């Protein structure tokens, strides 16, 4: 990510989707400690992975979301999946990963950490 982020941010896009749940990329959230996300842009990090049949825990998913939110602001983060899940994992597991994604996003939104980032308590 460090080698690509400048090029990525030159792309005229509202949102940038990238892998962040895969063990090869999970550490790359640190890039956003040094790089400012341009105003009006949104990061869509993958917080559940297609690279494993292991179902992520909702608290881990929340933590992954909050890592980005703490660096670029909660309103600038939308949780996603690493690539697509279809064809890579069994359909039942894909649906389970999407449920965990929702649960983790809910936990992140309700956390005190998220409330601080967005300027008040979640509604």
Any idea which of 8-22, 43-57, 102-116 has the lowest mean pLDDT? 102-116
Average predicted confidence (pLDDT) for the chain: 90
Report how far apart, in Å, the C-alpha atoms of 116 and of each of 16, 62, 82 are: 24, 15, 27
Instruction: Please state, for a pLDDT cut of 90, what percent of the chain lies above it.
Output: 84
What does the pLDDT read at residue 88?
A: 82
Q: Residue 121's pLDDT band (boundaries 50, 70, 90)? A: very low
Examine the pLDDT at 117 and tell me if it is beyond 80.
no
pTM of the model: 0.89
Q: How far apart are CA 14 and CA 64, in angstroms?
A: 21
What does the pLDDT read at residue 25?
A: 94
């Amino acid at each position: 990510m460090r080698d690509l982020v400048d090029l990525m941010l030159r792309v005229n896009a509202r949102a940038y989707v990238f892998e962040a749940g895969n063990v090869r990329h999970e550490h790359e959230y640190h890039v956003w400690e040094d790089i400012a996300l341009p105003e009006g842009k949104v990061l869509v990090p993958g917080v559940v992975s297609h690279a494993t049949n292991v179902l992520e825990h909702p608290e881990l998913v929340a933590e992954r979301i909050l890592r980005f939110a703490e660096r670029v602001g909660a309103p600038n983060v939308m949780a996603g999946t690493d690539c697509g899940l279809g064809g890579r994992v069994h359909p039942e597991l894909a649906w389970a990963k999407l449920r965990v994604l929702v649960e983790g996003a809910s936990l992140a939104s309700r956390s005190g950490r998220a409330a601080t980032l967005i300027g008040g308590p979640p509604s």
